[in-house]
Structure 1
Amino acid sequence: MSPDSPSRPVALATIGTDHRDGQSSSTARRAWEPVPSEKSGSKAPGWARRHPVMYTGWRCGVFLAGLAVVVAGVIMLPLPGPGWLVIFAGMALWGTEFAWAQRVLHWTRRRVAEATRRALEPRVRRRNIVLLLIGATAGAVLVTLYLLRFGAGLPPAVGG
């Protein structure tokens, strides 16, 4: 079979070219190497970045550690604990190696800054203070009514 034969596999014809940017294989990135946007943000030590197996292991370790922290944060959401803070810490851990986590963190920071700015506007602050005072007054009235009706002692045992 000649090299110009139409039955020649396509993969053989393109071995020397990196299709992402058209570079020859001598100057193209290896498949395991991070893309430039990831490489610039990677916190992996130099020894891990120089060896493909070590780099993959490093990234897997960072992913698993971040996953454990995020899962712990999700568990803390309904339970006592700083759930959202722990979730953001896990995302920050992922952000040391993964560009998608960095984008999520930047998006979250922008949203929190915008919400903070809106909450500090004078008109909104006045409304929030009024709502807080109404809620505190209603709570105090309910507690007072309860104490007048049942007293400050513990309730009697049920069925006793």
Structure 2
Amino acid sequence: MNAESDERKEVAVAAASGSAAGDDRTTERELGSRAPGFIRKSKLLHLSWQVGIFVVGLAVVGAGVAMLVLPGPGWLVIFGGMAIWATEFVWAQIVLRWTRRKVTEAAQRALDPKVRRRNIILTTAGLVIVAVLVGIYVWKFGIVMPWKIEQ
């Protein structure tokens, strides 16, 4: 618990100094448990709360991993499970902050006009190549239906 408390204090000091320095970044929430106060007061109740949060988060992450190979929004469910864990565990909060930062950076890069233009050109070239190959195949072999219809 001491490492978590120390880290929370460091983040709070960094957030306060960042906002005092006039940074444009938004201040992030304090790290740590978001359990109700009456649960945090009792050590046994807080431990059982953490176990419950861990089990629920594990079930959601497990379902997301299964959805990576089965139909369903696998990554979205995995990040949902991480968000459940982040309500109680500092390590999950740090992972989600890092992920949010990387996703934001990737979105900004994807919206860059040069990158968009390059992606459009590459997609168009790929579609033209696929269309030419399909045309050559149909010209050479014709269209053969998988069933035979006799008239």
| Common fold: TM-score over 0.5 | yes
Higher-Rg member (1/2): 1
Deviations 1:97-124 (A, max 9, x none): 0111111111111111111111111111
The answer as to whether partners of 2:63 and 2:77 remain within 8 angstroms in 1 is: yes
Q: Secondary structure at the match of 1:153?
A: coil
Taking structure 1 as reference, are residues 155 and 139 closer, same or farther at Cα in structure 2, changes over 3 Å only?
Answer: farther
2:113 to 119, 122, 136: 122
The answer as to whether partners of 2:31 and 2:93 remain within 8 angstroms in 1 is: no
Deviates more, 1:119-128 or 1:147-156: 147-156
1:153 equivalent in alignment to 2:145: yes
RMSD of aligned Cα (Å): 2.5
Structure 2 residues without counterparts, runs of 5 or longer: 10-29
Q: Which has the higher helix share?
A: 2
Deviation of 1:142 after TM superposition, in Å, equals 3.5
Q: Secondary structure at the match of 1:35?
A: helix
2:60 to 52, 65, 69: 69
Deviation of 1:146 after TM superposition, in Å, equals 4.2
Q: Secondary structure at the match of 1:77?
A: helix
Separation in structure 2 between the aligned mates of residue 137 and residue 155 of structure 1, nearest angstrom? 29
Q: Which has the higher contact order (CA 8 A, sep 6+)?
A: 2
Match of 2:5 in 1: 35
Deviates more, 1:93-102 or 1:75-84: 75-84
Separation in structure 2 between the aligned mates of residue 91 and residue 51 of structure 1, nearest angstrom? 25
The answer as to whether partners of 2:31 and 2:90 remain within 8 angstroms in 1 is: no
Deviation of 1:145 after TM superposition, in Å, equals 4.0
1:78 to 57, 60, 69: 69
Question: TM-score if structure 2 supplies the norm length?
Answer: 0.70
Deviates more, 1:117-126 or 1:38-47: 38-47
Q: 1:39-118 to 2 correspondence within 5 Å?
A: 41-118=32-109
Name the aligned partner's letter for residue 107 of structure 1. Answer: W
Structure 1 residues without counterparts, runs of 5 or longer: 1-19, 21-33
Separation in structure 2 between the aligned mates of residue 88 and residue 145 of structure 1, nearest angstrom? 44
Q: Secondary structure at the match of 1:129?
A: helix
Question: TM-score if structure 1 supplies the norm length?
Answer: 0.66
Name the aligned partner's letter for residue 118 of structure 2. Answer: R
